[in-house]
């Protein structure tokens, strides 16, 4: 990290440095390292001290992750929401620093207002799906959910009109830039976080395995690069190497296989999260689906000779985990390169200083950008079909003749498939 002095620009002219003074790279001045650590590590050289600080913080974050998993889906949802808000805050602050627009009239209020609107829209859609019975019982909630899109759109429009009314003569361009900046940030941060929550509701394993694969790839690629790294990978991040990349890929796939094997055994990870009306809390209890039942697979001839086994018992989910780990190691790093390019473009060293030794929350989550979307698309395309309870909900809002038509079509379809016989209707 000491070698990243290219963050500072050489050969600045006077006018540049004057404007740079305010948009200076968020200086790593305020050292957030706790006093305890500082004293304990005061003897070591600067490089090893940095390594230790990073290492300890990494372990702290991982321990924190485990605690949260233990506490359950509700706490996880809240944590995801907090991470989202912090990421939004970090990126918007960078925007303010770049454009010196901290004093723009209204703008801070408007950015947070838009964040609130978009979150309201997304949470409303999720809540309506998963808390269907709870919502139907309470009158105000029912109205809110029936006209949800209209209400969200109205809220957004109010923000839009406020923006237009707040345009000030000398600052048009700046205000449009910040407007664009806010919207792109919302697009990146808020949609990803909601896809994460969707994945979570599908089953905690769909949340834990992807995120752990990305973290593992980060760490493994770093280790392989540290010990064997020789060929640079991409000009954007000079410290990444091909050896790290490939080593990280194989290590992550193996890690994913092992992790999914361990987790597929437990119901609390594998079952979709449901809201139980009677107990008024989240439950994860179900009959595990086919994906999470051990099955025998024949090993292809070539590996048979190596391992000496004819068949192996695996969970089908482990096959999917190979796809997830592959994505995490091959495409996930592009999210990291994107963030590196962004930091170089705006001449900042880190997104913020939240985590000592690591930078901001965004620095930790930059490789996760695409992972959440991929997992969501993967689940929707290959794993599950549409959500049955949502379908019933949609069905109930149709007209009676449409309902009858669909019912009859479904009936003939089931009879064709042999699931129903025409005489045993009233079981």
Residues numbered 343 to 362 that lie near another protein (CB under 8 A) are 344-347
Identity of the residue, 2 or 290, whose beta carbon is nearer to another protein in the bound complex: 290
Given 114, 206, 207, 374, the residue binding another protein (CB under 8 A): 374
* Residue 31 binds to another protein (criterion: CB under 8 A): no
Site string for another protein, 390-419 (x = CB under 8 A): -xx-xxxxxxx-xxxxxxxxxx-xx--x-x
Given 153, 227, 250, 297, the residue binding another protein (CB under 8 A): 153
Radius of gyration of the chain (CA): 26
Given 266, 342, 354, 383, the residue binding another protein (CB under 8 A): 342
H or E element: which one contains 161? helix 148-165
Residue 367 Cβ vs another protein, minimum distance, rounded to whole Å: 12
Provide the b/e sequence for 334-372 (b: ≥16 CB within 10 Å). ebbbbbbeebeeebbbbbbbbbbbbbbbbbbbbbbbbbb
CA distance 104 to 102: 6
CA distance 175 to 151: 26
Identity of the residue, 17 or 311, whose beta carbon is nearer to another protein in the bound complex: 17
Identity of the residue, 75 or 184, whose beta carbon is nearer to another protein in the bound complex: 184
Given 3, 15, 43, 45, the residue binding another protein (CB under 8 A): 15
Residue 386 Cβ vs another protein, minimum distance, rounded to whole Å: 4
Residue 157 Cβ vs another protein, minimum distance, rounded to whole Å: 6
Among residues 340, 321, 154, 312, the alpha carbon closest in space to that of 235 is found at 340
Residue 380 Cβ vs another protein, minimum distance, rounded to whole Å: 6
Identity of the residue, 27 or 418, whose beta carbon is nearer to another protein in the bound complex: 418
The contacts of residue 303 (CB under 8 Å, 6+ apart) are: none
Residue 79's SS3 state is helix
Identity of the residue, 59 or 391, whose beta carbon is nearer to another protein in the bound complex: 391
Residues 56-115 interacting with another protein (rule: CB under 8 A): 98-100
Among the candidate windows 69-77, 102-110, 128-136, 149-157, which touches another protein by CB under 8 A? Answer: 149-157
Site string for another protein, 298-337 (x = CB under 8 A): ---------------------------------x--x--x
Could you tell me where the DSSP H helices lie in 331-399? Answer: 332-345, 361-365, 369-378, 388-396
Contact 355, 57 (CB under 8 A): yes
Contact 186, 110 (CB under 8 A): no
Residues 249-288 interacting with another protein (rule: CB under 8 A): none
Contact 146, 394 (CB under 8 A): no
Given 49, 86, 171, 320, the residue binding another protein (CB under 8 A): 171
Total residues interacting with another protein, rule: CB under 8 A: 90
Can you count the helices (H) and strands (E) in the chain?
A: 19, 6
Among residues 270, 330, 327, 257, the alpha carbon closest in space to that of 297 is found at 257
Identity of the residue, 306 or 396, whose beta carbon is nearer to another protein in the bound complex: 396
Among the candidate windows 182-190, 225-233, 250-258, 310-318, which touches another protein by CB under 8 A? Answer: 182-190
Among the candidate windows 30-38, 69-77, 204-212, 228-236, which touches another protein by CB under 8 A? Answer: 228-236
Residue 37 Cβ vs another protein, minimum distance, rounded to whole Å: 34
Given 150, 278, 306, 310, the residue binding another protein (CB under 8 A): 150
Among residues 251, 255, 274, the alpha carbon closest in space to that of 204 is found at 274
Among residues 135, 257, 128, the alpha carbon closest in space to that of 201 is found at 128
């Amino acid at each position: 990290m000491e070698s990243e002095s290219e963050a500072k620009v050489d050969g600045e002219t006077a006018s540049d440095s004057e404007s740079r003074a305010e948009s200076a790279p968020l200086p790593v001045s305020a050292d957030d390292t706790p006093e305890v650590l500082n004293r304990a590590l005061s003897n070591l050289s600067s490089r090893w001290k940095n390594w230790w600080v990073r290492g300890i913080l990494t372990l702290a974050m991982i321990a924190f992750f485990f605690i949260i998993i233990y506490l359950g889906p509700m706490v996880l949802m809240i944590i995801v929401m907090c991470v989202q808000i912090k990421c939004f805050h970090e990126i918007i602050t960078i925007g303010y620093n770049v454009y010196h627009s901290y004093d723009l009239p209204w703008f801070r209020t408007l950015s947070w207002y838009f964040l609130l609107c978009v979150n309201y829209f997304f949470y409303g859609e999720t809540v309506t799906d998963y808390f269907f019975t709870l919502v139907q019982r309470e009158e105000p909630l029912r109205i809110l959910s029936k006209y949800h899109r209209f209400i969200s759109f109205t809220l957004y429009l109010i923000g839009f009109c406020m923006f237009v009314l707040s345009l000030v003569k000398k600052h048009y361009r700046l205000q449009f830039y910040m407007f664009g900046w806010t919207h792109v940030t919302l697009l990146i941060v808020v949609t990803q976080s909601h896809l994460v929550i969707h994945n979570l509701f599908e089953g905690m394993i769909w949340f834990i395995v992807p995120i752990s694969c990305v973290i593992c790839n980060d760490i493994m690629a770093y280790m392989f690069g540290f010990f064997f790294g020789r060929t640079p990978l991409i000009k954007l991040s000079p410290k990444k190497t091909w050896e790290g990349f490939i080593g990280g890929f194989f290590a992550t796939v193996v890690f994913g296989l092992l992790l999914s094997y361990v987790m597929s055994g437990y119901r609390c990870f594998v079952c979709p999260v449901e809201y139980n009306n009677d107990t008024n809390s989240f439950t994860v209890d179900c009959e595990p689906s086919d994906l999470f039942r051990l099955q025998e697979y024949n090993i292809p001839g070539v590996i048979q000779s190596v391992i000496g086994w004819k068949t192996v018992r695996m969970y089908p989910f482990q096959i999917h985990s190979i796809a997830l780990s592959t994505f995490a190691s091959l495409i996930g790093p592009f999210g990291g390169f994107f963030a590196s390019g962004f930091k170089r473009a705006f001449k900042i060293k880190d997104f913020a200083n939240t985590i000592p030794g690591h930078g901001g929350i965004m620095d930790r989550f930059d490789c996760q950008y695409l992972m959440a979307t991929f997992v969501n698309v993967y689940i929707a395309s290959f794993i599950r079909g549409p959500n049955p309870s949502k379908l019933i909900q949609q069905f109930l809002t149709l007209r009676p003749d449409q309902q009858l038509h669909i019912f009859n079509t479904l009936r003939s379809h089931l009879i064709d498939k042999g699931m129903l016989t025409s005489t045993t209707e009233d079981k």
